[in-house]
């Protein structure tokens, strides 16, 4: 994330406080999320910034695309919001465990909340006050978001991690409930039971949803040939979702564009290990093979034909199928928008 925030819940591993980014309490519902987002989007839209310089408008657009939009995408969809609330609840428990280190140096608003007799009323009032001025001055947005995140941290601490609506709490798996031991050395989430496949799948799906915004921005940079910025976005995405094959495969593709075959091989291999059907990774593997860099995966047959091989009818069939699929993608650039160069393939 381009906006480096070192306050509140942002100090917990790679956690991004989407509620603070939107200026909302952690128990906000879908209608509140939408209403708040529309208000922010109108305020930061270039047409609304009459008298502002081009630089200020560009900054406002950056705030909207990199801070506000990812938060809205996470909190506006029921499934994503429920998963994120579960994660927030777990972070509340982590706050309780690390109370001394996380509550040192709190701002004035957070200190007031610490002492407030009516925590719910005070929390709502303080969040509203900060949110009203959150986007008034572009240079102070990061500070205000940090102060809002401190309020969220104190509220979760005083609620002992139980500030999540009941509807969301019911969807938590047994491994997501309070009292479960944390993963050794990680301190991020409870250890799922060995046979709890549902919990593992839910965790993976949640991580993938966290990476969606980073992927979209990386692809946008890639279209603009801004490869360095795309890699930075993907690295942030992998910190949020280290097992997202899409981030690994796109990273490999970009390394290929930069003629860094060794780095590309590492990323493509990781993507294929996570998801053997990742189309970008498969295409990247074929490209690497033509360059003399073969990727062999454990448990895979050694007689897999190399890229461009004409042996075997099945290989030809796959080639034809890929050509048809590529022809349907926008811009006529193949599966990856012409990422490896070359024009449209001609079919008789």
Q: How far apart are CA 54 and CA 40, in angstroms?
A: 19
The domain defined by 8-182 carries CATH number 1.10.287.110: yes
User: Given phi > 0 = left and psi -120 to 50 = alpha, else beta, which region is 312?
Assistant: left
Please report where in the chains the tokens 């009203």 appear, as a residue. Answer: 132
pLDDT digits (tens, 9 = 90+) for 263-303: 889 999 999 999 998 999 999 999 999 999 889 887 665 44
Is the torsion defined by CA of 113, 115, 118, 119 positive or negative?
A: positive
Q: What is the pLDDT of residue 320?
A: 45
Tokens of 217: 């921005």
In angstroms, the Cα distances linking 297 to 197, 265, 269, 278 are 24, 12, 8, 14
> Domain limits of the chain?
8-182, 203-299
Q: What is the pLDDT of residue 160?
A: 67
Contact 209, 83 (CB under 8 A): yes
Contact 322, 315 (CB under 8 A): no
Interacting residues of 278 by C-beta distance below 8 A, sequence separation 6+: 245, 246, 249, 271, 272
What b/e readout covers 129-160, taking b as 16+ CB neighbours within 10 angstroms? ebbeebbeebeebbebbbbbbbbbbbbbbbbe
Q: How far apart are CA 275 and CA 249, in angstroms?
A: 10
First to last CA, the chain: 47
**Per-residue confidence in pLDDT tens, the chain, 348 aa:** 357 888 888 888 778 899 999 999 999 999 999 999 999 999 999 888 888 899 999 999 999 999 999 999 999 988 888 888 888 888 878 888 878 777 788 889 999 998 888 999 999 999 999 999 999 999 899 999 999 999 999 999 888 634 343 333 333 334 434 444 443 333 434 444 444 444 444 444 544 556 788 888 888 888 888 888 888 888 888 887 888 889 999 999 999 998 888 888 999 999 999 999 899 999 999 999 999 988 988 766 544 444 444 434 444 444 444 444 444 434 444 444 445 444 444 444
Please report where in the chains the tokens 């969220």 appear, as a residue. Answer: 152
Please report where in the chains the tokens 């040192």 appear, as a residue. Answer: 104
Q: How far apart are CA 321 and CA 333, in angstroms?
A: 16
The domain defined by 203-299 carries CATH number 1.10.540.10: no
Contact 229, 221 (CB under 8 A): yes
């Amino acid at each position: 994330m381009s906006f480096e925030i070192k306050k509140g819940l942002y100090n917990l591993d790679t956690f991004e406080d989407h509620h603070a980014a939107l200026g909302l309490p952690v128990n906000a519902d879908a209608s509140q999320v939408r209403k708040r987002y529309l208000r922010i989007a109108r305020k930061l839209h270039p047409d609304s910034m009459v008298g502002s310089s081009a630089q200020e408008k560009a900054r406002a657009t950056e705030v909207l695309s990199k801070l506000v939009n990812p938060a809205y995408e996470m909190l506006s969809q029921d499934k994503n919001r429920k998963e994120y609330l579960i994660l927030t609840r777990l972070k509340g428990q982590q706050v309780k465990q690390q109370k001394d280190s996380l509550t040192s140096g709190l701002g004035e608003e957070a200190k007031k909340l610490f002492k407030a007799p009516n925590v719910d009323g005070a929390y709502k009032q303080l969040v509203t006050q900060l949110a009203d001025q959150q986007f008034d001055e572009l240079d102070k947005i990061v500070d205000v978001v940090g102060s809002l995140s401190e309020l969220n941290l104190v509220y979760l601490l005083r609620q002992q991690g139980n500030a999540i609506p009941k509807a969301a709490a019911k969807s938590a798996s047994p491994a997501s409930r309070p009292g479960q031991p944390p993963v050794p050395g990680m301190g991020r989430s409870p250890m799922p039971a060995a046979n709890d496949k549902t919990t593992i799948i839910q965790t993976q799906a949640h991580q993938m949803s966290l990476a969606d915004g980073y992927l979209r921005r990386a692809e946008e940079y890639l279209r603009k040939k801004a490869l360095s910025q795309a890699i930075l976005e993907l690295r942030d995405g992998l910190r949020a979702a280290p097992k997202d094959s899409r981030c690994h495969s796109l990273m490999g593709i970009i390394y290929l564009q930069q003629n860094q075959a060794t780095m590309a091989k590492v990323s493509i291999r990781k993507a294929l290990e996570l998801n053997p059907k990742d189309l970008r990774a498969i295409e990247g593997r074929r490209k690497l093979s033509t360059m003399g860099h073969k990727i062999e995966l454990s448990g895979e047959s050694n007689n897999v034909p190399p890229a461009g091989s004409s042996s075997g009818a099945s290989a030809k069939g796959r080639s034809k199928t890929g050509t048809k699929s590529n022809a349907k993608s926008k811009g006529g650039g193949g599966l990856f928008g012409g990422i490896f160069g070359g024009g449209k393939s001609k079919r008789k």
